Amino acid sequence: MTHAAYVFDAYGTLFDVHAAVRRHASEIGPQGPALSQLWRAKQLEYSWVRSLMGAYRDFWQLTEEALDFALASMPDVDRSVRATLLDAYFKLDCYPEVPGVLKALKARGAKVAILSNGSPAMLESAVRNAALNEIIDDIFSVDALRVFKTAPEVYDLVTTSYRAYPEAISFQSSNRWDIAGAAKFGFRPVWINRNQMPDEYPDLAPSLILPSLSGL
């Protein structure tokens, strides 16, 4: 099926959120994987809680606060790695299939864009670091609205900008909650289930489930 635009979540979909900790595994020690998981979990939790409260802070602030919590929860990890990890998060690696897939989609004549909770500075840095700046047409950040996904107005950033109906947008995310939000809005959601997680939100099902972006 041909779509007017292929829109991608950034973190966990295009960019590997655990790459920062993995890059400095020797400095962190055996608690590295647990630290990375907790950091990510708190980053997302803070975005949802602040959206519900109407007390917005941008995603970079939440990323810093989530790391601080994770480090405080694991006293065996040297806190001197904080600055190193934040710098690495600002320059996350993309998954290996990403450049080729995005180039192929763009060659079809479709728009290729990002829709993310990330702040503009975070997203621009990640895109530039992965050399995707010549492929990505547009970067949509929730910072323009000061509310995080899964608020419907976030997904509407794309349809308003492209003057397209929701069903003309193929939306890819590795986060099942994000896919649920996109399905409710009316996008054609494609769940990139990289970690073979069990399904959730059965009433808000994806149109397609893939193990990576390669299937697009």
Q: Rounded to whole angstroms, how far apart are CA atoms 115 and 173?
A: 10
Q: Is the distance from CB of 168 to CB of 3 less than 8 angstroms?
A: yes
Q: Rounded to whole angstroms, how far apart are CA atoms 36 and 101?
A: 27
> Can you state the percent helix, strand and coil of the chain, rounding each to 5?
50, 15, 35
Q: Rounded to whole angstroms, how far apart are CA atoms 187 and 36?
A: 30
Per-residue tens of pLDDT for the chain, all 216 residues: 568 899 999 999 999 999 999 999 999 999 999 999 999 999 999 999 999 999 999 999 999 999 999 999 999 999 999 999 999 999 999 999 999 999 999 999 999 999 999 999 999 999 999 999 999 999 999 999 999 999 999 999 999 999 999 999 999 999 999 999 999 999 999 999 999 999 999 999 999 999 999 998
Q: Rounded to whole angstroms, how far apart are CA atoms 173 and 192?
A: 6
Q: Hey, what long-range contacts does 71-74 have (CB within 8 A, 24 or more apart)?
A: 71/35, 73/38, 74/31, 74/34, 74/35, 74/38
Strands (DSSP E) found in the chain:
5-8, 111-116, 138-141, 169-173, 188-192, 208-210
pLDDT score of 72: 97
Q: Rounded to whole angstroms, how far apart are CA atoms 121 and 31?
A: 29
pLDDT, one tens digit per residue, over 20-62 is 999 999 999 999 999 999 999 999 999 999 999 999 999 999 9
> Would you say the C-alpha torsion 52, 54, 59, 65 has a positive or negative sign?
negative
Strands (DSSP E) found in 34-187:
111-116, 138-141, 169-173
Question: What are the residue numbers of the active site?
Answer: 9
